[in-house]
Structure 1
């Protein structure tokens, strides 16, 4: 099939990237202003921010004729296979987290700190439900894969100077995926950047379909939230 998407130069790319980021940030503000930095306010903030950013990303992609390629949400060849890839990816990423946090400490970085998030997640059963649904599955699983492996990776693979250099595009989107996790410390940025590289590579192995990535990401985040809640409230067997 002939690619009819509009050519992408650096000026247009930067306008797209910065406006999507601005709407992302603006969209995250109303829940915080209304509910404050409560568990519900922060969970809703993540969801509304991603929602706003995705709407503008959709608009840009549609104008450039790249919507179907970037937001590839067509039915996968096999839902069973998509779930299997998602489950295997989730297991591999959880294992990487266990290894990665030790490696970055060994390298001299501070311990990866996710306490700011887990404090909100584990505040109550309602908080857990909100964070699993709104953050783990919508904002992270669906939203981050659509935003980074969908919109951003598509833009980078079409960008002059990067087009045709797939691994460079994967590396750049992975770094830009890792940086927003700076609240975990630089160790968290490094560990998460590696996850971004993996998901970028995985997209090239799934016929560019996003569903296996969305399922894997959602499973990772939701399982870690549920495990954190269970550990804090003494629900895990000794």
Structure 2
């Protein structure tokens, strides 16, 4: 495999233009969410949901416009279902290990603050809220985030850098950086840890043959584990 950049197909948007469209739509939606958050029930807790959902819609529309099929971003049924649980388990173990080890590796360099999860304090000790969140997160976060970041962005970054080993590495790192930055509401610790998440999901996406559904299932399981962790904490005083 060489490191040559593939020529841009005629009649298609440049990858950076496609990325800009999705990011701009998401940013506009987020700005609107900030404006109306105080006037809606659960406005603060749900902040960001509209941005990622509209971003996913834009990503799917551009994918269909350019490729004619969502298979271009990995939305295809796994060829065999029996390995899927093993893939999901392996991804989750890697994800948990990365979350545990990375802060320790960074600690000698600088003090990394823990992600700010205070906006989810209402889940702590609240069974009803925890169940609702566990059911909603796959639909409002895992699926649209994987469509945008691992599916669409990795496809566009691969077009930008070239379909090579080097291009794949750069695509994983680039989408992970964007994924981390959009979680700025969680503070510096949240940006770093979600960037690590993005790397784990991105590498997993490549290793499982660019099948987005496998990563979506793993991402959903990770979100449910997070909800259980938050629920197990004592209610805020």
* TM-score, normalised by the number of residues in structure 2: 0.80
Deviates more, 1:51-60 or 1:85-94: 85-94
Q: Which residue of 2 aligns with 1:166?
A: 168
Inter-partner Cα distance in structure 2 for 1:217 and 1:8: 35
Inter-partner Cα distance in structure 2 for 1:132 and 1:117: 16
Deviation for aligned residue 1:125 = 3.6
Deviation for aligned residue 1:32 = 5.5
Higher helix fraction: Structure 1 or Structure 2? 1
Unpaired stretches in structure 1, ≥5 consecutive residues: none
Task: State the aligned residue count.
Answer: 228
2:147 is the counterpart of 1:146: yes
> How large is the RMSD of aligned CA atoms in angstroms?
3.1
Change (3 A) 1:198 1:25: same
Inter-partner Cα distance in structure 2 for 1:195 and 1:32: 25
Unpaired stretches in structure 2, ≥5 consecutive residues: 1-6
Inter-partner Cα distance in structure 2 for 1:115 and 1:74: 34
Give yes or no for contact 2:125–2:234 (8 Å, CA) kept in 1. Answer: no
Q: Give the match's secondary structure for 1:232.
A: coil
Q: Give the match's secondary structure for 2:9.
A: coil
Inter-partner Cα distance in structure 1 for 2:128 and 2:40: 12
Inter-partner Cα distance in structure 2 for 1:207 and 1:230: 36
* TM-score, normalised by the number of residues in structure 1: 0.80
Cα deviation code 1:72-125 (max 9, x no counterpart): 222212334223311332232123212223333332133222333432433844
Q: Which residue of 1 aligns with 2:135?
A: 133
Cα deviation code 1:128-148 (max 9, x no counterpart): 2343233x3123321111111
